[in-house]
Every structure is written in C-alpha cells, then in structure tokens.
Amino acid sequence: MRLSILPVVLGLVWSAPKAEAAHDACGAAIPLLVARALTQRLPDYRLPLATDSEDEDVRSSVEHAGTRCQLVTSGDFDGDGVKDFAVGLIRKDGKQPIVAVALARNGTWLISALKSWVDDPIRLYVKTVPSGIHRRTEASNIGPLAPTERELLRCNHPAVIVGATESTGVVYCYISKRWLYVWVSD
C-alpha cells in the first residue's frame, strides 16, 4: 500500500511547478522537452516567469510584441531549418541571469549558456532579430575586443539579442558552430 501512494505523492510534487509555469506566459512558450533539458543542464538556474520582468516592460512587450513574456524567444538560430529556443534563466541565488540557447539536434537539444550582460534579472530581455549585418555601437568602441566579440556580424539566419530593457543590446549569432557577439546598443 505504501509503495502505491509514494509514486502518486511524488508525481504531484513533481508536477506542481510545471503546472504553475504552464499557466505563465513564459512557461507556456517553452516546450516541455526544452524546459527539461535546460533544468537538467543548468541546475543552478530556474525557468523564467512573466513576473520576473518589470510590469512596465511587460506592458511594453504586450503592446509591441503581443506577448507577456520577454524572456523566451524562438527562431532558427543555426540555420538548419528547425526551430530553436533562447531563454533567459534566473539564478536560484538571485545573482546575474544567463541566456540559454537550445538548438534542436535529432530529437534532443544542444544547450549553450550565453552571458546576459545584465546584473538585475528584472530588466533582462531576450528577442529574435532577423538575419543581416549587425554593427558594433560607437559607444562600445573602447578597448580591445573579447575573443568572440566582433565589430560587425553578418548573420545568415536569425540571431538572438539580449540586454537590459531601454539600455543595452548584444546580438549573438551562431557561426561555424560557436556563438559570436556584437554590442549594438549601449
């Protein structure tokens, strides 16, 4: 008798956070297999909720993008014709968030963790930008470039832009199996 109750209780405990996230705009935007891959690969982070963003930023996102979630986006980020996902993940200890990109790979997901460049998770945004040329802002032209930083990125497929709302923007583009970036707003 005890053995049959234990799986039911564990099942209820395991499904509770998923049920909350599924009713949230951000949780609803992340497929279950992507959510599972992200939480397994990056256990110090949690999936985002729409309430992780500033109310003013959520209102603006609804007006301009039609969504209450500005921490999840999708696109074909590697140019293979399959939908990929970029998700702003919140550190469980409240420190700097990251952006995780899940690239579809034959029924599984290749997870990359990208720097968000944001100290306060409440201001973080993650969006898809179209293919094209993305140039470094003049305000960022101080000091040498980091190894994966570029002055100009030519993306042949959609890319990911991350930053702090009304402040910064960094475009990440997946080129030759690695993530390169350029500051486009500072």
Residue-wise pLDDT tens digits, 70-128: 999 999 999 999 999 999 999 999 889 999 999 999 989 999 999 999 998 899 999 99
Q: What proportion of the chain, given as a percentage, has pLDDT over 70?
A: 84
Parse the chain into domains and list their residue ranges.
2-185
Name 180's Cβ contacts closer than 8 Å, sequence gap at least 6.
Answer: 148, 149, 150, 153, 172, 173
- The stretch 55-66 carries a mean pLDDT of 70
The closest alpha carbon to 124, from 54, 28, 180, belongs to 54
Torsion-angle region of residue 79: left (phi > 0), alpha (psi -120 to 50) or beta? left
Q: pLDDT value at position 124?
A: 94
Look at the chain and count its residues.
186
Sign of CA dihedral 93, 95, 97, 102: negative
- The stretch 16-35 carries a mean pLDDT of 77
- More confident position, 12 or 174: 174
Q: Where residue 17 falls among pLDDT bands split at 50, 70, 90? A: very low
- More confident position, 7 or 172: 172
What is the residue-wise DSSP string for 33-44?
Answer: HHHHHHHHH-TT
- The stretch 67-71 carries a mean pLDDT of 85
Residue 6 has pLDDT above 60, yes or no: no
- C-alpha distances in angstroms, 58 versus 46, 49, 88, 131, 165? 19, 11, 14, 25, 10
What is the model's pTM? 0.84
